[in-house]
Amino acid sequence: MRFIPSLFTLAVCSSFSIQADNAETAIERITVQGDLRQQSLQQLAGSIAVVSEQDAKRTSAQHLDDLLNQFANVNFSAGASRGRYIQMRGIGERSEFVDTINPSVGILIDGIDYSGLGITGISDMAQLEVFRGPEASRFGANALAGMLNLTTKGPTATPEGKLSATLANYDSRQLAAQFSNSVNSQLGYSLALEQQSSDGFIDNTYLNRDDTNNIDEFSGRFKVNYHPTERLALQFIAHLSDQDNGYDAFSLDRNRNTLSDEPGQDKIRSKALALNADYSGLGFADFNGQISWLTADSDYGFDEDWSYVGIHPDEYATTDRYLRAREQITLDYRLVSTPAGQLGGSDWVLGLYVAGKDYDLNRQFWNWDLWQADSFSSSLERSNAAVYGELTTPLNASWSLVSGMRLERYADIYSDSSGNAIKNHDMMWGANVSLNYQVNNQALIYLLAARGYKAGGVNGDALAKAADGNLTELNSKASFKPETLYNAEFGVKGSALDQSITARVAAFYMWRDDMQVKGWLNPDSGPQFAGFIDNAGSGRNYGIEMENRLQLHPQLALFLSASWLKTRLGNYITLDGDNLSGREQAQAPRFQYSVASDWYITDALTFNLSLQGKDAFFYSDGHNARSKRYELLNARISYQLANWELAAWTRNALDKDIGVRGFYFGNDPRDGYEPHVYEQLSEPRRVGVTASYQF
């Protein structure tokens, strides 16, 4: 990796070559909304990437899946119709079946916890922040490996609106509308609506249909800002999401042609409300708080045999369906010091977090032992309570020490239809310490150490299978322990005074203790699998990531992000006896890169080109199936005419088959259930046009 020293050289040189004169007038002012103090990106320690509406437009992104490929050391797994499972630096879950997952990478939308549900609708995106590395002090247990924080557009002082429509191949359509305004100086509102639909990219040759893996998604977001006094600001947030997607993604022939006679579904209907309060009348500190409520009902199921009755005498024909209900209430309150409230010249933050989440599952499946249709139900009640704080201590004009800590307790009450009733609880803690050298307003060098954590839990599927009496080896996998992650990081951030160069580089080394890995047991090589979460002894993840922006010419800008990652499993032997100790971890490609350019041909005509690449990676920690290395080419040309913008675009222009989920087992009776690598493929070549009107 000879290019790694040059990356540091670029960042360091750009940092120290900046002139301080008049820097305040030209400094890059990207405010990180997810930070406890909402500081500038260039003055905040940690590996954080920020994507704006313009960045999303560059690749014609319509969904979170389309955005994630441009981030260094970020990967995702579909496991459903959409990519809801995120991995950062090789850490993260890949799917959710019987057992409720504890996300290693969380998702926040306007501060509301959508972890495990994903993001639908990004047309009203104001800013997406990607926090890489353990972020326990900021976000708690759902940020072992990082956090995605999406902020959507809100009320404006004057009337603003936008209408957009997109047509693309595969009978794809997207309609979006946003409007915001203020009633008076105290009251403002915004409304955003979006509808996406597509036949999907699968042909079901048995049913002679091309829409069994379709997309049908609606999202609506409403905000009201109210300032009853000069010192008090209130914001009311309402979200509505209705996803009615098909799920028919895996093919016995290992291509985009399926044979399912009972295609599945991936439905999620969620509602969320939140109330934010900001009060600056205390004198010594500002008060920031949010109380939020979310409910989500999901229906996820698939044709388990991926085929039809009559395909072969040795066939089996079953389906698997998961009906889930989730409800949560979250409170997050904090005090942020003002200059009058500093402690010995140190800024501080003190916060309280409380959450209650209920998860109910009803699984409908074929019981192979009883040879009949069966069901399994479970209930999990989880409560979290945490206190957290952060202290920023100036050492002199340029040096500062930032230290933060979070102490969190969780308690689980689990029960299921197999008669299991288990209570779990644990005390966890996370911390971060960074030594920062602020070269000037536009350049920062930092050394960071952090500790993150993820809650343990119950393996309900393993308990149920063990209760059946045939898989007694699963008795030892009834529960799993919390995971701990330690991170040491060195980073440099710098931007030139005229913004011609912006560079951010971070190198990290992470230790994972009691790392949680997904295991599967298939004792008779038949259709019955038992999934469980296991604790491997340890793991190592280290590497480097960077983002650069170069203004090569007033009409030409170049954007480059890249990462190199090395991972290793600790002492890990599967129940099937496979020794995977020392192997690379799942969903951890050795390298990733994204190169993009903006060419302003004229004042009205713009051409965007991007190339994204990713190395091969293992699909699971329990088998050795791998994806393929790929390159993804995207292009867009747009024309601005007064308030109108017209664009033609293509994604995956080279029409690459890209795997986003993979399994290794036998499922085809035509070859005697010989094991194969079965992959779920991402979108093929997309071609579309978009028209938008802004007023």
Mean pLDDT for the stretch of residues 461-487: 76
Confidence band for 416, pLDDT divided at 50, 70 and 90? very high
Mean pLDDT for the stretch of residues 252-266: 97
What phi, psi does 237 have (nearest 5°)? -125, 135
Boundaries of every domain in the chain? 3-694
Structure tokens given for 43: 């003055």
Structure tokens given for 684: 């093929």
What sign has the CA pseudo-torsion 105, 109, 115, 116? negative
Q: Which of 555, 543, 562, 424 is nearest to 503 (CA)?
A: 562
Q: Which has the minimum average pLDDT: 106-115, 159-168, 401-410, 416-425? A: 416-425
pLDDT at 578 (0 to 100): 77
For the cut 50, the answer to whether the pLDDT of residue 263 exceeds it is yes
For the cut 50, the answer to whether the pLDDT of residue 556 exceeds it is yes
- Between the alpha carbon of residue 368 and those of residues 468, 519, 663, the distances in Å are 11, 20, 21
Q: Does domain 3-694 have CATH number 2.40.170.20?
A: yes
pLDDT at 84 (0 to 100): 86
pLDDT at 23 (0 to 100): 39
For the cut 80, the answer to whether the pLDDT of residue 521 exceeds it is no
Q: For the segment 422-437, what is each residue's pLDDT rounded down to a tens digit?
A: 898 999 999 999 999 9
* Encoded amino acid at 572, one letter: Y
For the cut 50, the answer to whether the pLDDT of residue 283 exceeds it is yes
Beta bridge partners of 27: none
What's the rounded Cα separation, in Å, for the pair 291 and 548? 37
Instruction: Judge contact between 490 and 507, C-beta under 8 A.
Output: yes
Structure tokens given for 690: 């978009």
Q: What would you report as the CA-atom Rg of the chain, rounded to the nearest whole angstrom?
A: 25
**End-to-end CA, the chain:** 49
What's the rounded Cα separation, in Å, for the pair 321 and 640? 48
For the cut 70, the answer to whether the pLDDT of residue 290 exceeds it is yes
Q: What is the b/e burial string over 572-602, where b = at least 16 CB atoms within 10 angstroms of the residue's CB?
A: bebbeeeebeeebbbbbbbbbbbbbbbbeee
Q: For the segment 378-411, what is each residue's pLDDT rounded down to a tens digit?
A: 999 999 999 999 999 999 999 999 999 999 999 9
Question: Can you give the three-state secondary structure of 417-447, one letter per residue?
Answer: CCCCEEEEEEEEEEEEEEEEEEEECCEEEEE
For the cut 70, the answer to whether the pLDDT of residue 461 exceeds it is yes
The whole-chain average pLDDT of the chain stands at 91
* Encoded amino acid at 115, one letter: S
Q: For the segment 306-323, what is each residue's pLDDT rounded down to a tens digit?
A: 999 999 999 999 999 999
For the cut 50, the answer to whether the pLDDT of residue 26 exceeds it is no
For the cut 80, the answer to whether the pLDDT of residue 522 exceeds it is no
Q: For the segment 574-610, what is each residue's pLDDT rounded down to a tens digit?
A: 766 778 788 999 999 999 999 999 999 999 999 999 9
Q: For the segment 494-519, what is each residue's pLDDT rounded down to a tens digit?
A: 988 787 899 999 999 999 998 887 77
Confidence band for 622, pLDDT divided at 50, 70 and 90? confident
Confidence band for 48, pLDDT divided at 50, 70 and 90? very high
Q: Which of 279, 263, 269 is nearest to 200 (CA)?
A: 263
